[in-house]
A and B are shown apart, each in its own frame.
Chain A
C-alpha cells in the first residue's frame, strides 16, 4: 500500500464518518469533537470505525488500543493512524 500523508488520512476518515454516521452532512462536526460526547457513534458504531481503519490502513488494532485517545475524534483517529502507519 502506498504511504498516505496526514491530509489524505484525514480526508478519508472524515469522509467515512460523514457517510456512515452523519448521513452525508458533517457541517456540525469539528475535527476535535468527541464522537461519544456528540452521540455520533454507539458501541457497534465504534466497531465499524475499527473495521474501517483496519481495512483501509493496513494494520490490525490490538484490543488494548480501543481507547478514546486513539479513536474518539477525527483528530485522535488521524494522530493514531498516522503514528501506526508511519511505524510500519
Chain B
C-alpha cells in the first residue's frame, strides 16, 4: 500500500475516530484526510510534479501531518528537517536535495531568509480549508517510488539523505504493528520529533491502524506530558534512553496512575539494564519493548519480545517480522554464536540508497544486504547483543551527531588551530559533547567559541564542555586518536 493510502484507508474505516490530539485540537481521520487533500491541491496548483522534493520544516503538530500526507498525495517526496537547524546547516541541505517547495510556519519562516525564493516557501496557513471541493486524484505512484528522504548524520561529517520508498516505509510500519499488536483502540504519547525515523514510525504505524497520536512537544517538563498521558489514557509511549532517565530521575512518574498504558518502546541507543529494571519495577503492568534500528532501515530492524526481557536483558532481541539479520565477518561470512561481527540486514524496509551519494550507498548496500556499521554477537538461541558502533558518532539524547561536523565548523573559527569533539558520559543524555581545542595564538575566550558554535550549529550540537589543550593525540598517519581523548575525559 502507498503511504498516503494508509490515511485514506483509516479515514474510510474510522472517519469519526480521533487521529491526532495536539494542544486544543482534536482532529478526526476524515478531517485529516480532507485537510491533506487540500494541501495536495495547493501543491498541485503550484506546479508540483511527481518526485519533486518538498522540505517540511515544522515541529510535531496537526499541520505536520496535514503537510506530510498532502505532499505524498501530490506525488511529492517528504524531506523533514530538524527545526533546530541553523542557516548554515539549512543552506547545505537545501543545496543537496534542491526542494521544489519548503513548507513551514510563521515561527520558522525566518530561518529560510535568503535561502529560497519566497514564492516557493509555503506557509501552513495555506492549508486551512477543511472542505476540499474534490478528492485528489493521486498521480501514478508505485510502491518503489521515493516517498521520503530523511537526513542522518554521516561519518564524513556531511549529513546523508536516506532515500525511502513507499514500500520501505509501509513494510516497516506493517512489521511494527504486528509485533506491538497495535490496534485502532491504541493511542500513543508522541514526544519524539517526526523528523527522525523513530518519530516517523510512530506516525506511519498509528495512522495505519486508525489509532490516535497524542502530541506534546513539552517533554522538557515531563510532568506536563505525564498529565496528558493520564488525561488521554494513552496506551503507548516511545522514547530514547534519555527520556526514560528523565522520567525516572526528574519527574513524578511514580505518583501517576496510568492503568491504560499497555507498553513502552525504547530505541535510539543502548539503555543501561539497571534503568530498564528500574522502569519495569515502577510500572510493572507495562510491557517494555527494547528495539534497535536505523534510518537506513526505515526505522526498525530488531525488537526484544518483553517475555524475554528479564532472561535476555541487554539484548536487542531478534529481527522483526519480514527482516533477516545476520552477523557477518569482514569477508561476508556468518560468524559463530558468541563471535563478534557486523550486523547485516535484508528486508523490504531497507533503503533505496543515499541521495546523491552513490559511493556511500555502495559502501553499505552490498550483495549481502545493508551493512549497519554496528558490531554485535548472537547467543545460542539467536538473541542479538550489540557490542559497539563501528562508526564514530556521538549519541546525545535522541540525536546522532558526527564529531567531524562539529570539528569542521569549529576549525573555521579564527584562532582555532585544530580541535576534536568527543562524547562524554552524561547521566541524562547518554553522551554530552566535549570539545578539545588547540589555539593558534590569536586570543579568544570560551564564550567567543560558544558564540561561534551557536551561530553555526544546531542547539543539540553545542559543546557542553570545552577544554583548551596544547596538542591533540594523533596516530602515525596524523589522524586524531579520539579514543585516547575519550579515555582522558
* Interface positions of A (Cβ within 8 A of B): 23-24, 36, 39, 41-47, 50, 62-64, 66-68, 71-72
Contacts and interface: CB of A to CB of B under 8 A. Distances in A.
B459 interface: yes
Given A44-B426, A44-B429, A64 B242 contact: no
Given A39-B459, A44-B429, A63-B251, A68 B221 contact: yes
Contacts of A36: 218, 220-221
B287 interface: no
B224 to A, nearest CB: 7
Closest 10 CB pairs of A and B: A63-B252, A64-B252, A43-B220, A68-B221, A23-B451, A46-B220, A44-B428, A36-B220, A23-B450, A66-B223
Contacts of A72: 221
B411 interface: no
Given A39-B459, A63-B252, A68 B450 contact: no
A2 B91 CA distance: 53
B262 to A, nearest CB: 24
Interface in B126-144: none
B184 interface: no
Interface string B73-102: 000000000001000000000000000000
Contacts of A68: 218, 221, 224
Given A23-B454, A36-B218, A42-B459, A67 B426 contact: no
Interface string B450-489: 1100100001100000000000000000000000000000
Nearest to B449: A23
Given A42-B459, A44-B426, A66-B250, 19 more contacts: A23-B451, A36-B220, A39-B459, A41-B220, A42-B397, A43-B220, A46-B221, A47-B428, A50-B250, A63-B223, A63-B250, A63-B251, A64-B255, A66-B221, A66-B223, A66-B252, A67-B221, A68-B221, A71-B221
B447 A24 contact: yes
Contacts of A46: 220-221
B121 interface: no
A44 B459 CA distance: 12
A69 to B, nearest CB: 9
B112 interface: no
A50 B250 CA distance: 10
B373 interface: no
A43 B255 CA distance: 20
Most B CB within 10 A of own CB, among A44, A50, A72: A44
Nearest to B218: A36
Given A66-B223, A68-B218, A68-B224, A43 B251 contact: no
B246 interface: yes
B14 interface: no
B222 interface: yes
B22 interface: no
Contacts of A23: 447, 450-451, 454
A47 B250 contact: yes
A43 B224 contact: no
Interface in B216-264: 218-224, 242, 246, 250-252, 255
A68 B432 CA distance: 25
Contacts of A45: 220
A44 B426 CA distance: 10
Nearest to B462: A42
B223 A67 contact: yes
B9 to A, nearest CB: 36
B251 A66 contact: yes
A67 B218 CA distance: 10
B107 to A, nearest CB: 9
A42 B251 CA distance: 15
Most A CB within 10 A of own CB, among B224, B242, B450: B224
B239 to A, nearest CB: 11
A88 B218 CA distance: 30
B223 A43 contact: no
Contacts of A24: 447
A46 B460 CA distance: 14
25 contacts: A23-B451, A23-B454, A36-B218, A39-B459, A41-B220, A42-B220, A42-B397, A42-B460, A43-B220, A43-B397, A43-B428, A44-B432, A45-B220, A46-B221, A50-B250, A62-B252, A64-B223, A64-B252, A66-B222, A66-B223, A66-B250, A66-B252, A67-B221, A67-B223, A68-B218
Contacts of A62: 252
Contacts of B251: 63, 66
Contacts of A50: 250
Contacts of B460: 42
A76 to B, nearest CB: 11
Given A23-B450, A47-B250, A67 B224 contact: yes
Contacts of A41: 220
Nearest to B451: A23
A5 to B, nearest CB: 28
Nearest to B446: A23
A22 to B, nearest CB: 10
